Homo-oligomer: A and B are copies of this chain.
């Protein structure tokens, strides 16, 4: 069911984003899109999942301004260097030029850390664990793509933490990785956790851990990042605390983020040639009921549909009573990825059954009208499990171990996925590997594995992942 999708992924993607009413791509500025109400609901349920995970691990939601004055934005040398080419600048208010140029946040370290300067006083204030969900801006000059490469990232969840020691910051990195694992597991989106090489870490970080998934065309998509900032920003923004012995010390910080790309990954991971298949947890409609009207039985069917809907009221149920053929309705809801369809006609009523069609397998069965709620919940749970298992199966098939650079190059050129290989740790070898394979050095996936560096032939203790990334 993924033939068309695999053959021309880009076409499938652009098509489905619009047809399933996720985003309208016709907004008159490059790289900016409009969330349709249906897409907005998917976004809402996805955000509910991450909010719950963050809240229950002691993170507090806050909200910081969008506009960052140039002098704050430029404080951290690596950071400004990393972002200066992609920042939008506000230079005028009304008809007057501003005294101080204002950056549209591309990320909020430089908006938040001046506040940490005033918030952090003593070790008793630590740790601080806050997050916000905001829009951020990047002046992308490359080809833009809905949810993937945007000029306005409409959904940027960024968490920022402050700690009294590197150990505490490290523990926070572990917690953040676990939160994101749980998050992607809830969405059934498979991932590798990868330590980015030094030359590709977040500007200003000590190191960066990333979550990458793999798309049907074999390219990888970074869907989450976790950064240990050490004391780098604390020193720049002068964030100090008094430790238990009364000494002033620079704080340790971490930050971690996810974006609209999570939703791209969700849609692509479970989609197929018929359209989307949205996991029940985040589906705007978990179950659509289609009345099958026959001549003089319409009223009877409608009465039964009302009863059925009432019984299923704990779920997000929609009755499609449009005056069009059932087949057209099936088609629409398959595109939109509603996980379960229930058809209810005179024959079903007579037999005390309902007909159900799972979106993941397109399997059509009948279930007893009695205990329909429990049956539907069981099927939805089974869909959730199946989507996740299937996605991981497919994901694993796209990860290859390369025995030579040539072999790796071939796998990647054919769009089959990513390759893993040994690396000694030298940047020079990293560049050789990138050049020879003609792909991106994504980073270390396993620090302990023995092997041979394919760049120089020396012994390697790093297993790295290489692929073409979005």
- Measured between beta carbons, the chain B residues less than 8 angstroms from A141 are 94
Q: Please count how many residues in chain A sit with their CB below 8 Å of the partner chain's CB atoms.
A: 53
Residue ranges of A at the interface with B (Cβ–Cβ < 8 Å): 24, 26-29, 32-37, 40-41, 43-44, 60-69, 72, 84-95, 100, 102, 104, 111, 114-115, 118, 130, 135, 137, 139, 141, 151-152, 154
How distant is A99 from chain B, measured CB to nearest CB, in Å?
Answer: 10
How distant is A319 from chain B, measured CB to nearest CB, in Å?
Answer: 15
B95 near A85: Cβ-Cβ < 8 Å: yes
A92 near B91: Cβ-Cβ < 8 Å: yes
- Measured between beta carbons, the chain B residues less than 8 angstroms from A68 are 29
Would A130 and B62 be within 8 Å (CB), given that A27-B115, A92-B88, A93-B88 are in contact? no
Q: Please, which residue of chain B has its CB at the minimum distance from the CB of A92?
A: B89
Q: How many Å lie between the Cα of A323 and that of B208 in the bound state?
A: 38
A130 near B37: Cβ-Cβ < 8 Å: yes
29 pairs, A vs B, C-beta closer than 8 Å: A24-B115, A26-B118, A27-B64, A28-B69, A29-B65, A29-B69, A33-B65, A34-B63, A35-B62, A37-B60, A37-B62, A40-B61, A43-B63, A63-B154, A65-B152, A66-B135, A66-B152, A67-B151, A84-B94, A85-B94, A86-B94, A87-B94, A88-B90, A88-B92, A89-B91, A90-B90, A90-B91, A93-B139, A94-B139
A67 near B115: Cβ-Cβ < 8 Å: no
- Measured between beta carbons, the chain B residues less than 8 angstroms from A34 are 62-65, 115
Of B40, B65, B135, B151, the contact of A62 (CB 8 Å cutoff): B40
Q: How many Å lie between the Cα of A64 and that of B35 in the bound state?
A: 6
A62 near B36: Cβ-Cβ < 8 Å: yes
Would A40 and B63 be within 8 Å (CB), given that A94-B87, A104-B90 are in contact? yes
Q: Please, which residue of chain B has its CB at the minimum distance from the CB of A24?
A: B115
Q: Please, which residue of chain B has its CB at the minimum distance from the CB of A94?
A: B85
A102 near B26: Cβ-Cβ < 8 Å: no
Q: How many Å lie between the Cα of A88 and that of B101 in the bound state?
A: 11
How distant is A175 from chain B, measured CB to nearest CB, in Å?
Answer: 18
Given contacts A27-B65, A27-B114, A85-B94, 15 further A-B pairs with CB under 8 A are A29-B68, A29-B102, A32-B67, A34-B62, A35-B62, A35-B64, A63-B154, A66-B152, A67-B88, A67-B137, A87-B94, A88-B93, A89-B92, A90-B104, A94-B141
A89 near B86: Cβ-Cβ < 8 Å: no
Q: Please, which residue of chain B has its CB at the minimum distance from the CB of A151?
A: B67
Q: How many Å lie between the Cα of A304 and that of B255 in the bound state?
A: 39
A67 near B152: Cβ-Cβ < 8 Å: yes
- Measured between beta carbons, the chain B residues less than 8 angstroms from A36 are 62
**Which of A26, A86, A93, A151 has the most chain B CB atoms closer than 10 A to its own CB?**
A93
How distant is A228 from chain B, measured CB to nearest CB, in Å?
Answer: 23
- Measured between beta carbons, the chain B residues less than 8 angstroms from A26 are 115, 118
B28 near A72: Cβ-Cβ < 8 Å: yes
Q: Please, which residue of chain B has its CB at the minimum distance from the CB of A150?
A: B65
A84 near B92: Cβ-Cβ < 8 Å: no
How distant is A134 from chain B, measured CB to nearest CB, in Å?
Answer: 8
